[in-house]
Amino acid sequence: MEQQTSNDMRQMTALGRKIESNSFQIIDDEVGDHDWPDHEWQVVRRVIHSTADFEFRDLVAIHRDAIRDGINALKRGAPIIADVKMIDSGLNKARLDAWGVKVHCFISDEDVIAEAKAKNTTRAIEAVKKAHSLGLLDGAIVAVGNAPTSLLETVRHIDDNRAKPSLIVGVPVGFVSAAESKDEVMQRSVPYIVTKGRKGGSTIAVSILHALLYISANEEI
């Protein structure tokens, strides 16, 4: 499994690997000294790499158990519950397949849309409820890059003892409830990786997951 996973993780050409390596070196050089532990820095560095925004050095917050629990979840093939299809589209399928990980996104399902309209809620809220009804939330990685209401509904499920994800990647971007939803996550005991404040996005959620996939394939935790 380790050899297969490693092979799946190295799909880039030699030039692509060189460009990525050079980019990471530039980030390391420009950031200089920092207090991030190695595995956490790999996550933060990939966020900076995906955004070219060095503010994320200080905006990313990582629960002490997040890396370990996230990688363990991947290695046992836990599902990833994504708030939007952009996350599913951005993830490398070969890397996911190496661990048997499936991505689920219900935001555009007809029943979810109908429920949201009938209840005057949001599709993101009803998508979380559907994931729960299908028994997918417990032990899952919940990845939110766009919809704060998805993150808040996940928190409600945790508070009501209806779900206990292995990891929350909470990085919704926006002006309404984005920062507040992340603050709520950080007050819970479930491991998390979030971006504080308004900044975030699906691209960042994908970069965090790819960092975890890379670590899971190449390093021991």
- Dihedral sign, Cα of residue 35, residue 38, residue 39, residue 45: positive
Q: How far is CA 21 from the centre of its chain?
A: 22
Is residue 49 annotated as a catalytic residue, yes or no?
yes
Tokens of 25: 């070196």
Helical packing angle, 38-51 and 202-218, nearest 10°: 140
Single out the residue of 1, 46, 39 nearest to residue 20, CA to CA. 46
Cα separation, 23 vs 147, in Å, equals 30
| Closest among 198, 214, 70 to 142, alpha carbons compared | 70
Q: With residue 168 as reference, give the H or E element that holds it.
A: strand 167-170
Other Cβ atoms less than 10 A from the Cβ of 28: the count is 13
What's the Cα-to-Cα distance from 209 to each of 90, 96, 120, 121, 133, rounded to whole Å? 10, 10, 32, 28, 24
Q: Which of 34, 39, 49, 157 is catalytic?
A: 49
Active site residues: 49
